[in-house]
Amino acid sequence: MSRLDGFRVRAYARTMLALLLVATCSPAPAGQPHDLGVSNGTTLPVTIAVNGTALRTIQPQTEDTILVKDLPPLPWAVEARTSTGRTLLALSVRAGDVWETTGPDGSHELNGDATRVDLSCGRLDMWSGPPLLGPAPGPGKPGDC
């Protein structure tokens, strides 16, 4: 093997190693829509509407998941509405917003869209992807329910 051939082999090996590292270390957003989660910690029944269409009512002090198969194609304009039609919370979910990936060390990275409101009658959360964590619910404002 000539000196030039050895150089080419090493350069090829370095290039392949770099490509392998980039491919395994970079998040690879799946682009697949995830379910829509709702946690209704309020005293109100809340109707979930997606792209203007009411899908279901979530009863007070309950959680529910709306499966992807029951949702329209992305993007989603999600609203949580009172029985009188007042919007309590709104969430936008676009293609590429929600993804998960596994790193070479087995660690998981998650990304999603979520929103929350603390009302005087309880907390309301909506999410696609990982749910929101803490803090403890706030007091809200009198008359916001």
Residue (of 17, 32, 38) closest to 132 by Cα position: 38
pLDDT tens column, 75-85: 999 999 999 99
- Residue 46 near residue 88 (C-beta atoms within 8 A): yes
- Residue 118 near residue 137 (C-beta atoms within 8 A): yes
Range in 30-39, 51-60, 84-93, 105-114 the model is least confident about? 30-39
Residue type, 1: M
Give residue limits of the domains in the chain.
Answer: 30-128
CA distances from 45 to 89, 98, 103, 109 (A): 13, 27, 41, 33
For residue 115, the SS3 value is: strand
What residues pair up with 38 in beta bridges, in sequence order?
64, 126
The pLDDT assigned to 33 comes to 75
CA distance 74 to 62: 26
In CATH, the number for domain 30-128 is: 2.60.120
Cis peptide bond upstream of 45, omega within 30: no
- Residue 128 near residue 93 (C-beta atoms within 8 A): yes
The pLDDT assigned to 1 comes to 56
The pLDDT assigned to 3 comes to 52
CA distances from 95 to 61, 72, 75, 81, 92 (A): 30, 12, 6, 24, 10
